[in-house]
A and B are shown apart, each in its own frame.
Chain A
């Protein structure tokens, strides 16, 4: 896929920035890291559409996979089908962050923040394209919901990768403890809903990530 932009403000947010004065060395380091990640990333994605058989416990049709837990079910209350996607930045980014971890922690940290920003931006981009495609049928998408949110446990990661055939198609796998490899990767579920669907008001109360949210700890929000 084509190169995406990396939003500098997002990078700073990941770095815990709160309007401190940034010196030239740090500024240059951030700019240089943004370019480096744009250069290193090999963004790849895969997605599939599934009808949801709610009568059979939120079974994704054509598979034996049922969405577990309550939270994803309420996220998909108004949806009769969904899209599952997997997105990754590839191994080169991981390798660079590992390398700089031994050379300069400051650089490693900033690269990590740039990569986190980049993967989110690719997700947004894929999301946007998918939204366009469902809009043709007068439908829209819910927000992205990933394993690890609320009570949607991480151990479904392997099943998601299998039904996406993500290992072979984009080289995305998971560790025994369900951490995605390459590290800068995302899997997510989006419900396909009618245009009349109203997105829940953005509020932190009620968010499944409430306790663990690092944005909120820092006094901000994730923007949803």
Chain B
């Protein structure tokens, strides 16, 4: 019987631990159990045999760590280990009806942004395992003990794209209800369910008692079969080995309890043996699966934060180049920091989700989307809405997104639906549906409702649930189509009857009118009343945000008004204009009062040209600060605070330069990178801040940068000065190689180096042109080169 079919008819029983069994048979600490597949196949076969005798229905191959990174110090290839492992399982199977699950555990190295392994490389590592498992004829794939949702996603994608096998996937949670990397049960459920696994759940780390509350949460959310493999309790270390405190009887008691709660797949993890499985089988007897009736719930997530759409959630609209000169420039020059700042300010202002649109004809949208998503999710835990018309961009974005995202958007056109919905389904996203089609936007609410209905039906045909469809009823401009404005509002109410959520951008309504804010706010309040769930607005607009608070209060959603009241308190104690605004900009810089510099710089712009401000205030103040630092009057954090104060001043100046002005105040380009193998980048980032202060254009390649990438960029951007940093003795070698290669390609290039392990002699030895003992010195070197 096909395992998917069987899953619907009976409780599926997995085996117990492999590691515990081989350790008890003499495997040494630190040794890889996987090599025993070849060195001692009989031992492994016997373990499988014991589990079959105990009543297990699924055997897990001894391949938990059979990946190319873990096996690199053994004489064996991934393929031969997996082949041996599957053979050992197969040799144990005497009777029919036993399945073999290809076991895939974590790679053992963490993915970016926590570690240095790329998502794409993780995918390739897993792919190799999957392909061999398929070749050897396993019946299913179990991806287990994951602590990083991103890694679990890479593994699931590798399994789905390289096999048709059922996929079961479990993660390990700690007693605080999160995995080591902070993933929550709800985020796991949303993401894995979306990716289309056949069963999901929890294993390892905890005993059944400690797992129970986390399991309850998973059962509450999951609409697909739930799996549990607990440890035999919490370990105590005796003679360097874990000893578990839950005995087979107690383990079986909990297992039965779990099945009665709705668990459909059960087995054991660390510390469990065939004795545990035998008891478990006895205790569970012929209990039948319980099918939990799950209500649909809308929501999106990152690994660490799930955002249920159970009230008004703000989608920040600012990551979008439309009509924004500086944003366009940032996209063209690859200034990711600028885009990140746009993300950060929106999150600080209270956005729940961020729309990400990087569509600009002159850039590679696919590449930029991937980069921006990866960068945002490396520092913020806010779900994203991938905004593009290009299916390639959407797919690339969904692929690297960590969690469950929204795609913006499809409309009622058949072709668009057929192109985009399968992608959204594959990656388990939610989708924004615009109520328009090839004929345009219907004038009436009913017309838009019909398109919405079509979108929902089509989505369901593709397997996307209606609670994952967010309908946009489209705002029209009052100045042009006054009588249709209210049709949008009527449509919101209508489409909600379809059981979907609604989204809307509102600012279009006031286009061409004076006092646009008033019109926007009024329309917005009405839309919220009609049931708008996901307004796409600028969260920096306090009045719009306050309108949400007031609406929630008036319509009895903010019960007791606590959120409204909290919002008003922060108003009163918020930033007040005080006499500090009278402070001199130089003084503000010297004292490093970053938050004052914007206002004061703006004020000065009334009197002076940007360049005058630079020369009259910024440079002299910086010189004073630099001097005080060199004389030991202030220390590094103070220097940096002043530098950042200058930086925010600069931002104001840049914003003020008119669109057609071509003032180039850059003194020259400097490329900075932390070399391959090294990820210590604080020092490099400090150098960057200071160089930018002195008007150098910094091209920041980041950390762990491969030599060829640096060489390529230097040629591409015609760079004269490169700054390299390394913090470890081992990576100075990598620095030396980078220097050698750079000089070989371009003998005119000048290279400065810095980092704690370096000194002047060392720098000379590796043939760097300059040694920068600190950030201030790096500036002097750059000034010398570009003087």
Question: A residues near B, CB below 8 A?
Answer: 15-18, 20-23, 25-26, 29-30, 48-50, 62-65, 90-92, 94-95, 97-99, 101-106, 108-110, 112, 148, 153-154, 159, 162-163, 165, 167-168, 170-171, 173-179, 181-183, 211-212, 214, 217
Contact = CB atoms under 8 A, between A and B. Distances in A.
Contact of A92 (B108, B109, B182, B643): B182
Contacts of B109: 173-176
A106 B641 contact: yes
B679 A108 contact: no
Contact of A177 (B116, B242, B644, B759): B116
B678 interface: yes
Contacts, number: 158
A162 B30 contact: yes
A94 B731 CA distance: 21
Given A20-B635, A91-B180, A92-B182, A178 B28 contact: no
A21 B30 contact: no
Given A102-B344, A178-B730, A212-B757, A23 B591 contact: yes
21 contacts: A16-B636, A18-B632, A21-B633, A25-B592, A26-B637, A29-B641, A30-B637, A62-B29, A64-B30, A95-B379, A101-B682, A104-B594, A106-B592, A106-B641, A109-B640, A162-B29, A165-B242, A168-B205, A171-B147, A177-B731, A214-B756
B685 interface: yes
B684 to A, nearest CB: 10
B337 interface: yes
B31 A64 contact: yes
Contact of A105 (B108, B634, B685): B685
Given A16-B635, A105-B640, A106-B641, 7 more contacts: A30-B637, A98-B113, A102-B379, A148-B729, A162-B30, A171-B180, A177-B704
Contacts of A23: 591-592, 638
A23 B640 CA distance: 13
Given A20-B632, A63-B29, A101-B685, A91 B114 contact: yes
Contact of B379 (A99, A112, A214): A99
Nearest to B180: A171
Interface string B359-385: 000000000000000000011100000
A154 B632 contact: no
Given A48-B237, A62-B240, A175-B116, A26 B641 contact: yes
Contacts of B114: 91, 94, 181-182
Q: Please give me the 6 A-B residue pairs with the lowest Cβ-Cβ distance, nearest first.
A: A171-B180, A177-B677, A163-B30, A162-B30, A106-B640, A106-B641
Contacts of A168: 145, 172, 204-205, 270
B522 interface: no
Nearest to A104: B644
Contacts of A110: 637
A7 B700 CA distance: 34
A30 to B, nearest CB: 8
A20 B641 contact: no
B593 to A, nearest CB: 7
A186 B786 CA distance: 42
B375 to A, nearest CB: 9
Q: Which of B341, B636, B678 gathers most chain A CB within 10 Å?
A: B636
Contacts of B731: 177
Contacts of B181: 91, 171
A46 to B, nearest CB: 8
Interface string B729-769: 11100000000000000000000000011010000000000
B692 to A, nearest CB: 11
Interface in B171-227: 172, 180-182, 204-205
B379 A49 contact: no
A106 B682 contact: no
Majority SS at the chain B contact face = loop
B617 to A, nearest CB: 19
B75 to A, nearest CB: 14
A45 to B, nearest CB: 12
Given A63-B29, A106-B644, A91 B637 contact: no
Interface residues of B, number: 66
A25 B591 contact: yes
Contacts of A173: 108-110, 115
B686 interface: yes
A83 to B, nearest CB: 11
B117 interface: yes
B268 interface: no
Contacts of A98: 113, 378-379
Contact of A159 (B30, B636, B681): B30
B728 interface: yes
Nearest to A163: B30
Contacts of A62: 28-29, 239-240
A103 to B, nearest CB: 6
B340 interface: yes
B518 to A, nearest CB: 33
Contacts of B205: 168
Contacts of B644: 104-106
A178 B116 CA distance: 11
B256 to A, nearest CB: 27
A17 B728 CA distance: 22
A65 B635 contact: no
A196 B728 CA distance: 36
Q: Which of B181, B239, B638 gathers most chain A CB within 10 Å?
A: B638
B635 A103 contact: no
A106 B638 CA distance: 8
B416 interface: no
A61 B416 CA distance: 65
Contacts of A181: 110, 114-115
Contacts of B685: 101, 105, 108
Nearest to A155: B730
Contacts of A159: 30
Contact of B106 (A29, A95, A167, A175): A167
Q: Which of B29, B204, B633 gathers most chain A CB within 10 Å?
A: B29
Nearest to A174: B109
Given A23-B591, A48-B240, A212 B729 contact: yes
Nearest to B380: A99
Contacts of A105: 640, 643-644, 682, 685-686, 689
B207 to A, nearest CB: 14
B502 to A, nearest CB: 32
Given A25-B641, A90-B180, A99-B380, A167 B30 contact: no
Contacts of A29: 637, 641
A112 B680 CA distance: 11
Contacts of B730: 153-154, 177-178
Contacts of B686: 105, 109
B382 to A, nearest CB: 12
Nearest to B69: A176
Contacts of B633: 20-21
B755 to A, nearest CB: 10
Nearest to A182: B114
Contacts of B379: 95, 98-99, 101-102
Given A21-B633, A91-B114, A212 B592 contact: no
A182 B180 CA distance: 10
A109 B147 contact: no
A209 to B, nearest CB: 10
A48 to B, nearest CB: 5
A20 B676 CA distance: 36
A103 B337 CA distance: 9
Interface string B81-122: 000000000000000000000000010111001111100000
Contacts of B591: 23, 25
Contacts of A65: 30
Contacts of A18: 632, 635
Contacts of A148: 728-729
Nearest to B686: A105
Contacts of B681: 101
